[in-house]
Structures are given as structure tokens and as C-alpha cells.
Amino acid sequence: MKRGVAAGIGIIALIVALLMLQLTTPQMVGPVGVLAFFVLIYIFNAAAIYLLLVFLVDSLSGLVKKGKWLARLESMSARKIYYYTSFIALAPVILLGMQSVGMVRVTEILLLVLFQALGLFYISRRF
């Protein structure tokens, strides 16, 4: 059920974002429209990453034999997957925002990777 909802929300967000790209300009929609576009991209990324993580956890649970790895995969709650998803989905939106102001260089990408690594480490230890 959750997978279907995530897929549906992701597809709707993608369709609306693509319609915004085709039918409007940033001058037409203003700052609120640009923010709405970034939110739609985030929602689509979150839905896609959630589906990917759930698929990976399910398929790896079937492949891994008994032991430490299987226990870790089985203890992966939907809440923890959601936390990972919501943090990972932020990276493409940050990159898109940096690209829109022309600030994507190797240094910024490395800082974003470091930010993501620290955030994921925090989530893994906290939840």
C-alpha cells in the first residue's frame, strides 16, 4: 500500500513539474512558483528514492544468509527508510539550486557529499 501511494505521489509531482517547465517561465510564476517547482522536484526524488530503498532492503533480505547483515536489514523500519529518503532526496534539489545561480564546482559538490555523509551517519546512529 505504501509503495503504491509513494509511486502515485511521485508520478503526480513529476507530471506537475514537467507541466510547469513547459507552460510557465520563472518570471510568470515568481518566487512562490519557483519554490513550488523545487518542492515538486524534492517530492519526486523522495518518492523514487523511497521505492528504491524499499526494493533494495526487500531484495537484499532475501539474498543474505542468517547473521549480522540479515538482522540489520530486518531491523530497518519504515520510519528509518523514510528518514534516509528525506535526507538523500535533498541533494539533487540543492545541486539544482546551486546550478541555477551558477555555483556548481568541484568544491561545492565535495561539500555536498560530505554534508550527505554526515547526515546519513547521524541518521544511522540516531534512529
- Whether the pLDDT of residue 52 is over 80: the answer is yes
- Domain count of the chain? 1
CB-CB contact of 26 with 34 (8 Å): yes
pLDDT, tens digit (0-9, with 9 covering 90-100), for 85-102? 999 999 999 999 999 888
Domain that holds residue 75: 2-126
**Residue carrying C-alpha cell 523522495:** 46
pTM above 0.85, yes or no: yes
pLDDT, tens digit (0-9, with 9 covering 90-100), for 30-50? 999 999 999 999 999 999 999
For residue 67, what is the enclosing H or E element? none
How far apart are alpha carbons 67 and 108 in whole angstroms?
Answer: 39
